[in-house]
Amino acid sequence: MAEHPHAALVRNGYEAFGAGDMETLAGLMTGDCVHHSPGESQMSGHFKGRDNILAHFGQLMELTHGTFRVELEGVYPDGRGHVMAVHKWHADRGDRGIEMKGGLFFTIVGDKATDVDECVEDIDECDAFWGQAE
């Protein structure tokens, strides 16, 4: 069976992110897409618009000196414009490393992501890893 097109969209997004292909990643989102990151750290908040989301991803890489990476574990579409993706992410920052399960819940309209809600296994640990803005 062929993969559902919404699942393929999300899988393509993960592949583009992993390859650092921000042009492809940008093409998978609407211009007014919003990414919601949980917690109270400098990486938490609501990132509105494709450019702000891509800047947020750039900051992930900057703060971790390029060590941030994601291993996709599963992609689950509902056939009604939503996809849940489950992954494990890894990063090093300063003298500390982190490995954590998490996921993204996508809302898709047409062929593009319009809203992305991020969930993590341990919000407090994420906040401690990312810290507050310096």
Pair 14, 106: CB distance under 8 Å: no
pLDDT digits (tens, 9 = 90+) for 74-86: 999 999 999 999 9
Structural domain containing residue 21: 5-130
Residue 31, pLDDT > 80, answer yes
When divided into structural domains, the chain yields a total of 1
Q: Is the dihedral of CA 102, 37, 63, 121 positive or negative?
A: negative
Question: Among 117, 131, 125, 120, which residue's Cα sits nearest to residue 64?
Answer: 131
Q: What is the CATH number of the domain that holds 126?
A: 3.10.450.50
Category of 75 on φ-ψ map: left (φ > 0), alpha (ψ -120 to 50) or beta: beta
Q: pTM of this prediction?
A: 0.94
Q: Which residue has the tokens 């509105």?
A: 48
How confident is residue 1, by pLDDT bands cut at 50, 70 and 90?
A: confident
Residue 134 has pLDDT above 90, yes or no: no
**What mean pLDDT comes out for the span 50-54?**
97
